[in-house]
Amino acid sequence: MLDCLELMVQINIGNLLNKHTANAEPNERKVNNMKKVFICSPYRGDIERNTKLARKFGRHAAKCGYVPVIPHLVFPQFLDDNNPEERILGITMGAELLKSCDMIWIVGNRLSKGMQYEVEAAKKHQIPVRCYDTDFNRIYPETMSIDDRIDDAFAAALNGVLFD
């Protein structure tokens, strides 16, 4: 929650600065652009539970001042996740959206195949990564080797990512 609090303080300071520059010329006015965060969480398997988890993290991101990008809540509305070609299309379109994001939040303690693909895209495009357990507790890269919430495979899959 500290991450959210820090961001809200930054936004409020930025809003105060904007109020003081309200009479400035448009190109002199400071503008706060909301950062986009890609929510990387499972979808397949227990779809109802996984959808609730993604929605919960999307809401949290929005309340923290981010624009949540959650393709697996949108694409299954018109693509069939049980059709391999459409599933691949949805995951690759999600990776395309990821390129425009400022950060990726990895949710949970294991990576599905789709999540692994998204992590690889984040590595390739050097998009900063944050990891959270399903209760919004941050998983820090410095302590992954001793963190009982994750296993060695999870930590190994994140080798080479740019952590935030």
Separation of first and last alpha carbons in the chain: 15
* Type and span of the H or E element at 84: helix 84-98
What are the per-10-residue average pLDDT scores of the chain (164 residues)? 52 42 38 88 96 98 97 98 97 98 97 97 98 97 96 95 96
- Burial group, residue 121, by CB count within 10 angstroms (0-12, 13-18, 19+): buried
Q: Is residue 109 part of a domain?
A: yes
- Asked whether residue 94 is assigned to any structural domain, the reply reads yes
Residue at 160: amino acid letter: G
Contact present, 36 and 69 (Cβ < 8 Å) = yes
For position 33, what pLDDT does the model report? 87
Measured CA angle at 86 (ends 105, 102), to 5 deg: 25
Residue 148 within a domain: yes
pLDDT of residue 1: 52
Q: What global pTM score does this model have? A: 0.82
Query: Domain containing 148 — which CATH number?
Result: 3.40.50.450
Does some domain include residue 57? yes
CB of 72 closer than 8 Å to CB of 54: yes
> What is the number of domains present in the chain?
1
61 is a domain residue: yes
Q: What pLDDT is stored for residue 20 in this prediction?
A: 38
